[in-house]
Amino acid sequence: MPSKQILVGIVGVGLVGSELVSQILSIPAARNPFKIVFLASSTKVLYAPVVDADPAKWKAALAASTEAVDLKALGGYLRTLVAQQQGQGEGVEGRAVIVDNTSAEGVAGMYAEWIGQGVSVVTPNKKGFSGDRGVWEGILRAAEGEGAGRWLNESTVGAGLPVVNTLREMVGSGDRVRKIEGVFSGTMSYIFNEWSGVPSGKGEGEGGGRKKFSDVVRVAREKGYTEPHPADDLNGADVARKLTILARTIGACAVGETAGVPVLGSYRDVQTQSLIPKALEGEGSGDVFVSRLGEFDEEFERLREEAEREGCVLRFVGVVDVENGVVKAGLEKYPVSHPFATSLGGSDNIIMFHTERYSPRPLIVQGAGAGAAVTAMGVLGDLLKLV
């Protein structure tokens, strides 16, 4: 066994959480530094679980648990376990971690407390890093305390792609970011790759017909690429959250002067273009939304035709422009020769870092930006940084 054993508590055991458990168990026992000491759903917790390779077994045990989850107690539980292993009086930092696989604000609101207790936090949950500025600053303050835990959130942007850590290393080593731009939403990537792709000369869609925007959204939903209610993707909020995380990461990790880095109260401060037709704003039913979206295909078609006349395609892009102090998300036109037009497929993400060192040619990170397997891989990668 590795000399340093890390106790892992997992909150959220859905698609990503279950995949993470499987990936942890896939590490050969002789060099596996991780011991899962609790599993928690939104309502129950299973302490000292017997984690079998067959997920049905530990899921059944969690479902049968009579112990209600108490978020405030989880950090103390880990501290007690570490103290029992190391002897009273020794710190827990680097030896205990809570993984939050949820998207819950309430769980994110516990990060500062856990970190202050010496328990690290690893998570794909964007809420704590993109919401209210006070929550974010509380996390930073907690991490500066003596014996504090760490916060690692690679998978909040780009799932398993090396985006956040790349940015941290850039600015932490003294590089100055000029602009970050990219296709940050796997859902938006799929929709616009299908609907406003590079012309092939063979027509679009089966039979050579041009695809309608509403049909592409409907198929994306059927394939599980969108949220159950596609408006939750088309409103651009997911991209705005990711941009907020990147902007805040620059400010938190930069060496020296950070003038020009946008200060955001929350992701709502991002200049975000919503693609929801005004008549459908507030429509609560995803089914009704999709059924009515076709009423607005002509409006979307005009946007596509305008881009094509200019030799361009449309992409839903996020930008952190440090030089001009602007953070925005919305539709942009790109020439058909641009990487945003030619390099994307499926639900890929692509991110360009324009910095002093990476100039005039930017550093480009590209690949699958969504899915349980790659998201869990990003989480596990962060866990390995604690070893």
Spatial separation of the C-alpha atoms in residues 302 and 324, rounded to whole Å: 30
On whether 227 is known to bind a ligand per the annotation, the reply is yes
Q: 163 and 170 in contact (C-beta within 8 Å)?
A: no
On whether 12 is known to bind a ligand per the annotation, the reply is yes
On whether 13 is known to bind a ligand per the annotation, the reply is yes
On whether 126 is known to bind a ligand per the annotation, the reply is yes
Give the number of other CB atoms < 10 A from CB of residue 141: 13
On whether 25 is known to bind a ligand per the annotation, the reply is no
What tokens does 101 get?
């696989």
On whether 140 is known to bind a ligand per the annotation, the reply is no
| Residue ranges in 196-326 assigned as alpha helix (H) | 213-222, 231-234, 237-253, 286-293, 297-309
The DSSP code sequence of 22-67 is HHHHTS-GGG--EEEEEEE-SSBEEES----SSHHHHHHHHHH---
Contacts of 309 (CB under 8 A, 6+ apart): none
On whether 323 is known to bind a ligand per the annotation, the reply is no
Contacts of 10 (CB under 8 A, 6+ apart): 17, 20, 21, 36, 38, 39, 40, 98, 99, 101
Spatial separation of the C-alpha atoms in residues 11 and 62, rounded to whole Å: 12
On whether 102 is known to bind a ligand per the annotation, the reply is yes
Q: How do 177-183 and 348-355 pair as beta strands?
A: antiparallel
On whether 371 is known to bind a ligand per the annotation, the reply is no
**Annotated active-site residue in 211, 242, 328, 333:** 242
Closest CA to 6 of 106, 104, 85: 85
Spatial separation of the C-alpha atoms in residues 101 and 375, rounded to whole Å: 10
**Catalytic residue flag (residue 242):** yes
Spatial separation of the C-alpha atoms in residues 361 and 359, rounded to whole Å: 5
Catalytic residue set: 242
Report the binding-site residues for NADP(+). 12-17
Report the binding-site residues for L-homoserine. 227
Report the binding-site residues for NADPH. 102, 126
Report the binding-site residues. 12-17, 102, 126, 227
